[in-house]
Amino acid sequence: MKYINEEKINYLLADAAKLDGCQLDIILDKAKSLKRLTLKESAALLSVKDPEDIQKIFAAASFVKDTIYGRRVVLFVPLYISNLCVNSCLYCAFKSDNPLIKRKALTVDEINAQTEWLLNRGHKRILMVCGEEAPSGKSNIDYYTEAIKAIYAAEVGKNKIKRVNVNCAPLSINEFKKLKQSGIGTYQIFQETYHEQTYRRMHPKGPKSDPDNRIDAVDRAFTAGIDDIGIGALYGLFDWRFETLGLLSHIEHMEEKFGVGPHTISVPRIEPAEGAELSLRPPYKISDDEFKKVVAILRLSISYAGIIMTTRENALMRDTLLSLGVSQISAESNTSPGGYSAGDKEQACLPDQQAGSQFSLGDQRSLDEIVGTLIAHDYIPSFCAACYRMERTGETFMQLAKPGTIKGKCSVNALITLQEYLDDFASAKVKQAGYKMIERYFNKLDNVDQDMLKLFFSHVDSGVRDEYV
Ligand code: SAM
Ligand code: SF4
């Protein structure tokens, strides 16, 4: 596979002899000073087995996360617009040869209605997701751009979606240019596995069967001017240590060629998917403890990138991973196109296992419950999309994120958007805890102009929405 040197990864993993405590401390000190770790250093961390040493890795990862991002956690929700797909990924319910799911591609009106439902719940950031096949008569890119327009057009009171990120199949440079023009935030694409032989086995048919075309999509997106890119590996297809070094090798390639690494990293684990046998027994299932290590080591190796955790994981695991480096989480997701009940504010999502969903979910909590839990654990829930709208993307974002300078802005924006959420959508219990949190942070944030923040809060009180720094 292009850009991935399997021999080197195998060598590094085999060579990552047991560290002595002193070497481990040197690597962790380097990571804590926010310096990029080498592949060799990351391989060494991946080989750590001693429980005490693992706790040291976890503590260092928490430190790095707090230094870069502070206590804020960004919330988003996926919007599945279609489950039509020409590919046959062995692990996914949307694969073309799966007769068990009901196929659906949402119309523009349906996308608008789904977005309104999400706005009514308090969501502000959407990840648009779909299979690789447009409804008949349309090209993929035209379908995507129409859908993005419909999402941004939806409005409920003063609330609109602030940022649409997109997870869709690879496009050509010209198509990526159109995607950028439609106003997307991050373009997300997961390589699934960085092990070429496994990749070919898992993707037997369709355009996705070419691993080089997929990995090159990131380069094409950059070339087209999209500089916030999210990458990821689907854990469970091959050895987790190999995949983590594969991800890190891919990042080295991005940094070398474009001077910018990924805006976000995702580490989905395979979940059971209807009609996709392999998803029930992933060939390289990764345990919870190994998974925690992966998140912590990614946080230490690439301090500047956001790490995303979706509702594939259960509530307990997601709460734990927040302290190890996760900075963005999804909430009350449904992986079926049309799965959110349009128009009915109180009605919960349609059952997750309904025909048409991509995989089953581990965390079924409502947005309000998730916001409440974040507050209880002293994390500031954030609905901010300021960086992208202030053009703090790509290299500009990295320059703020690498030394941790972004933290001040993140915390202020998180508090403003939290107050908006509390005023407009929260339950009485969450409101009470949230206002207390705002008061607490107002008094303790370093280097923040309190008068300015007070002014923002008074604006929110008087009904102004969507201010940010
Ligand atoms: N179809 C496009 C693609 O494959 O790139 C984009 C959307 S696809 C629905 C998004 C991601 O879902 C895939 O990249 C894959 O990592 C993940 N996925 C697929 N099946 C899954 C499963 N059974 N459990 C967890 N994640 C899964
Ligand atoms: Fe299609 Fe994406 Fe699912 Fe593969 S992972 S079958 S490409 S939707």
pLDDT tens digit string along 373-400? 999 999 999 998 776 666 666 776 566 5
Q: How confident is the model at residue 466 (pLDDT cuts 50, 70, 90)?
A: confident
pLDDT at 402 over 70: no
- pTM comes to 0.94
pLDDT at 347 over 50: no
Q: Are residues 351 and 446 in the same domain?
A: no
Q: Are residues 145 and 62 in the same domain?
A: no
> In terms of C-beta density within 10 A (0-12 exposed, 13-18 middle, 19 or more buried), how is residue 432 classed?
middle
pLDDT for res 348? 39
- Which residues make Cβ contacts (< 8 Å) with residue 459, sequence separation at least 6? 467
pLDDT at 166 over 90: yes
Domain boundary among 66, 87, 118: 66
Ligand 1 atom having least distance to the Cα of 129: 7
Residue 266, in any domain of the structure: yes
Q: From 36, 28, 16, select the one nearest 52 (Cα to Cα).
A: 28
Q: Are residues 20 and 78 in the same domain?
A: no
Q: Are residues 30 and 173 in the same domain?
A: no
User: In testing the pocket of ligand 2, which one of 80, 86, 94 has its CB within 8 Å of the most ligand atoms?
Assistant: 94
pLDDT for res 48? 94
Residue 395, in any domain of the structure: no
pLDDT for res 448? 67
Q: Are residues 254 and 314 in the same domain?
A: yes
For helices 240-258 and 211-223, angle between their N-to-C axes, nearest 10 degrees: 30
Give yes or no for residue 92 CB within 6 A of ligand 2. yes
Handedness of CA 354, 358, 363, 364 (dihedral sign): negative
Look at the chain and report how many structural domains it folds into. 3
Among the bound ligands, name the one nearest to the CA of residue 101.
2
Domain boundary among 387, 419, 436: 387
Contact 283, 91 (CB under 8 A): no
Q: Are residues 415 and 359 in the same domain?
A: no
User: In testing the pocket of ligand 2, which one of 86, 87, 91 has its CB within 8 Å of the most ligand atoms?
Assistant: 87
Q: From 177, 134, 150, select the one nearest 79 (Cα to Cα).
A: 150
Q: Are residues 17 and 103 in the same domain?
A: no
Q: Are residues 313 and 363 in the same domain?
A: yes
Average pLDDT over residues 215-229: 97
Q: What share of the chain in percent tops pLDDT 90?
A: 74
| 307 C-alpha to ligand 1 centroid (Å) | 17
Residue 303, in any domain of the structure: yes
Residue 111, in any domain of the structure: yes
Q: Are residues 276 and 382 in the same domain?
A: yes
Domain boundary among 66, 82, 106: 66
Q: How confident is the model at residue 69 (pLDDT cuts 50, 70, 90)?
A: confident
Residue 225, in any domain of the structure: yes
| 190 C-alpha to ligand 1 centroid (Å) | 8
Among the bound ligands, name the one nearest to the CA of residue 83.
2
Average pLDDT over residues 217-245: 97
| 282 C-alpha to ligand 1 centroid (Å) | 14
| 342 C-alpha to ligand 2 centroid (Å) | 25
Q: Are residues 291 and 423 in the same domain?
A: no
Q: Are residues 299 and 219 in the same domain?
A: yes
Ligand 2 atom having least distance to the Cα of 192: 5
Give yes or no for residue 169 CB within 6 A of ligand 1. yes
pLDDT for res 399? 65
Instruction: Mark residue 271 as left, alpha or beta (left: phi above 0; alpha: psi -120 to 50; beta: remaining).
Output: beta
CA atoms within 13 A on the CB side of 83: 25
Q: What residue numbers bound the domain in which 447 lies?
A: 401-461
Give yes or no for residue 310 CB within 6 A of ligand 1. no
Pick the more confident residue, 347 or 159. 159
Q: Are residues 16 and 116 in the same domain?
A: no
Taking CA atoms only, the protein residue closest to ligand 2 atom 2 is 131
Residue tagged 């303790």 (tokens)? 444
